[in-house]
Chains A and B, each alone.
Chain A
């Protein structure tokens, strides 16, 4: 729709801005979201973000179920971070109820959590390449990603929703005969990492499309309380695994990765986000290797029988916070337990995109409509919001642009820039 307000500042002539809604339907990935862009020509001069299309009331449902049932529900909050939420939730409940977790279980939780980071970052990198029109790289990256999915399936039985954490421990062991599969996968990734870095970071067209695009400055990242690779790409050294360690992370010297670890100046653009994510894959491989080599022996759960566990939880009262650095940033769960009831008296879940929502606004400002797919994808792989775009001109006629057309615009820009 044509906006009533007339912008007299641009070139001192009357320029009109148009509002272009993008989304909300996501056909492929998990999060539908709507952006309303104010455009001055091709430039984005304003954006309004409306999430919530996939709000399923999970916390409400969880408060009507017993804690073990709520744990299974928490695993289904997100299809990609399907261990991040259970990790934060189990820690919150264990902190509230004062339940100990055996050392071996802490290490196994860490290994699965880091494997999730490997597959999630590679998934994102492939999606990013696709948005730029570099589908060869998409297929290469997703082929490389399969190795971590296969390993997760071997270790847990599932490609997603691994059902590993349980209050007081983990449900499955990593036996000797499976550990060699993990070592094999780690060697595979170590051999490939440099070529992934070359393919993404030393490619001229990737650099042209992502350098100085979607910039989030250090000050904006801190002020807007952004989390995860989104904030670290802006030079903010914030990582729960470093700042307030938990599980096996407390035994390792982990540091938050920022673009300066790659030896480049920190700009806070999409290119820096690629740097951070690829280096974090390397970091995760080191962490998994450390955990496998130092895997303590011993039991898997301090309260192995579920009826005894439920009884212990029913007796517990208190409140607790559980935090985990998920692939996209900090996940935090708050739980309050009341003696005599099986359900959590209060449960609040915060996922990383919740914190990064506001960081999108400065990232979009001043960039072009053809950059929308890669900027939207840069924070989290939810560029499927590109499903359709409505353009409306002043006469009131409307035209609809599909996700495919928008990606075509993005690809044409790549070709133009490559000459």
Chain B
């Protein structure tokens, strides 16, 4: 199993729903440099769950984290998986990217195929206001339980600042 094979099998499975596939080779080590690989693939939101289900079936991945970025009209999510742990130089990183338009911030959960993704998904719900369809637990995890702000959304920054100021003032009052 190598990075190119993983990407090729995913492309065969997904067809036109995926694009922008890249494998970056990096040399590591000083005495005898060897290559390691980072793979990247962009997937349409509608095909995203199928892609992860296929990945789980074929390669038994580990999910490290889901990163996100507000890019104006949409929110881009990168699901950072690693595949092939257990042997020396056996692992690659595989980052699956999907772009959700702000008019429809919705993505199906992957916790049904990979339960370890739940913490990362809950974080994306609260920080970006994304609806993760089918997640068993959608409560706030890192933000206060009653907070309704989405701090990593650039278009909602004013609300975030207001809420933070309100909470700091409330705490200061309680300390007096």
Tell me the A residues contacting B by CB distance below 8 Å. 50-52, 55, 57, 59-60, 95, 103, 106-107, 222-226, 236-238, 240, 242-248, 250-251, 253-256, 294, 296, 319-321, 323, 330, 332, 334, 336, 345-346, 348, 350, 354-355, 357-358
Contact = CB atoms under 8 A, between A and B. Distances in A.
Contact of B142 (A52, A226, A345): A52
Interface string B1-39: 000000000000000000000001010111111101010
Contacts of B135: none
Contacts of A59: 152
B67 interface: yes
A250 B28 contact: yes
A225 B114 contact: yes
Contact of A354 (B40, B60, B119, B140): B119
Contact of A244 (B40, B60, B91): B91
B63 A225 contact: yes
B143 A52 contact: yes
Interface residues of B, number: 49
Interface string B82-99: 101111111111010000
B158 interface: no
A237 B36 CA distance: 19
A222 B92 CA distance: 17
For the complex of A and B, list the 3 residue pairs with the smallest distance between their C-beta atoms, beginning with the closest: A225-B116, A250-B29, A348-B67
A135 to B, nearest CB: 34
A-side interface mostly: mixed
Contacts of B29: 245, 248, 250-251
Contacts of A345: 69
A161 to B, nearest CB: 24
Contacts of B132: none
Contacts of B65: 332, 334, 348, 350, 354-355
Contacts of A334: 65, 67, 78, 80, 95
Contacts of A348: 65, 67-68, 78
Contacts of B148: none
Contacts of B60: 222
Nearest to B40: A319
Nearest to A57: B151
A345 B72 CA distance: 12
A200 to B, nearest CB: 27
B141 A50 contact: yes
A320 to B, nearest CB: 8
A244 B145 contact: no
Contact of A243 (B26, B30, B80, B88): B88
Contacts of A246: 28, 36
Interface string B135-176: 000001111110000011000000000000000000000000
Contacts of A225: 62-64, 114, 116-117
B69 A103 contact: no
Contacts of B74: none
A245 B68 contact: no
B62 A55 contact: no
Nearest to A346: B69
Among A51, A57, A106, A348, the most chain B Cβ lie within 10 Å of the Cβ of A348
A52 B141 contact: yes
A352 to B, nearest CB: 10
B118 A251 contact: no
Contacts of B151: 57, 60
Interface string B47-69: 00000000000001011110111
